[in-house]
Structure 1
């Protein structure tokens, strides 16, 4: 995929900024107006503050910081930032150049799927064929004097589907793992005169050690670093197997009237009782507030904005999340039974609350239990502006939702552009749970 990120994308950027091999735009209108590309570069840098570090390194200024823009950073910019920042910035408001670029983004996303079906490969093959033909019409313009606009890397796109059929999905043979491995070899070079001998010795020793670990089940005994141990900053709560709470913690925090009412209402709905019963039997004064929650098995660490927002050393916002909860489609029709469907929402995680529920006959509980509730300030998604790249626009925030912590899914990033926020979600639709009740 380096072919696309380091060559095709860079060539298109040079075309848009009027710096491609001293070639003018001919009969086209694809070059940005003066200052637009610099503005896009600055917005790319500013987006780093509202995109959590779990998404990768901070985006670099694509307009002037060429040395820091690796294939990895170009990949992130292309898949997540460019569809937002390029929209409406070509000279034609309904630009076919923008639409042409979005088609490339869709093809790249399709190529990067973990598994590919024969139908997917066919879509990749036909998609790149159509894309290259459109490229020749828009940039080459069927003019032999503009032949420099058609480097061999454009032709190579036509063979990506063949490569997938021969080798499997692109992640099985792309260069990212090899580049990271080469980076790990640099510290092992201690002799400038015989660097390759150092590398050979290191690789041989590492391979032998790995073989012994696996062959004799000695992974922990032969660990060169410190032994793994459970983080003392993390606390598991019984009944919650998908997440752990992470310090800081505040006991008996002062809840605002609005938040307390939301918590009481959520508990009343959960236990099917009146709010007066909750206030009578649940000790709200004993609620504990936590600063972070981490989903297990490689999940994200999500921060509560009321306690730890802005304290991260890298200054990157990790409080906006995706969450899922059931809603009643017939909520306004009181006489009808509930018709629940699972829906996806976005918002800012503001509070993580641990509530101890005592056993009581009025609560239908024979044994006490502990609940982890989260308060989320929802984002009012503008459905009109939702595109088909799973990027959601919003301008205002909505109501405060109090739900169980198991509703939290992952961190999301945000990009501010021309008066609106745009939510980017790296996990995509394939990571969503699909369920329906009723």
Structure 2
């Protein structure tokens, strides 16, 4: 059902239209690896790629979603802004949408990451931008183009810190110049 809601939002169509296009018993191709184009990060799906003790867990990512800042006000017109999230990729799913002239939808394929969102317990307050979390939260489908980068996670004193390597590298380069 979450995938139907995601696609309904993507196409700006009612969920019933998407359910017509994608029957309930549809099997989707699932994958354990994905790579962003133009030198982007290689990402692993936690449920498909076993983690070796000597390697980085490449299933944790930072991604951006458009969030309605007035979602709590049902009669107010939505006003969207981009918000950063962190999460663990469980799998990658390819969704093929068939052509539907009745609903003005062209045939296309989409790649989604099924992500368990990280519940931030201590938001970043310092210059390094390190967030802390203890648990994973709800799951959601996120378009591959919405994923910004792979992030690292380090356990310290019973909580996990999220290390955005691109941000730290950018700061190190800026400090050297």
- Structure 2 residue 40 is matched with structure 1 residue 299: yes
Question: After the TM superposition, which of the residue ranges 340-349 and 269-278 deviates more from structure 2?
Answer: 269-278
Maintained 8 Å contact 1:303/1:309: no
Separation in 1, partners of 2:84, 2:123: 17
Partner of 2:159: 420
| Correspondence 1:373-384 to 2 at 5 A | 373-383=112-122
Maintained 8 Å contact 1:271/1:363: no
Q: Give the structure-1-normalised TM-score.
A: 0.36
Question: After the TM superposition, which of the residue ranges 419-428 and 292-301 deviates more from structure 2?
Answer: 292-301
1:333 pairs, out of 68, 73, 79, with: 73
User: What stretches of structure 1 of length at least 5 have no aligned partner?
Assistant: 1-260, 432-438
- Structure 2 residue 17 is matched with structure 1 residue 277: yes
Maintained 8 Å contact 1:309/1:319: no
Maintained 8 Å contact 2:28/2:94: yes
Q: How many residues align?
A: 169
Maintained 8 Å contact 1:291/1:352: yes
Partner of 1:202: none
SS of residue paired to 2:135:
strand
| Correspondence 1:382-421 to 2 at 5 A | 382-383=121-122, 386-421=125-160
User: What stretches of structure 2 of length at least 5 have no aligned partner?
Assistant: 171-177
Q: Give the structure-2-normalised TM-score.
A: 0.85
| Structure with larger RCO (C-alpha < 8 A, sep 6+) | 2
- Structure 2 residue 52 is matched with structure 1 residue 308: no
SS of residue paired to 1:268:
helix
Higher strand share: 2
State the Cα distance separating 1:373 from its structure 2 match.
Answer: 1.2
Q: Larger Rg: 1 or 2?
A: 1
Separation in 2, partners of 1:429, 1:345: 17
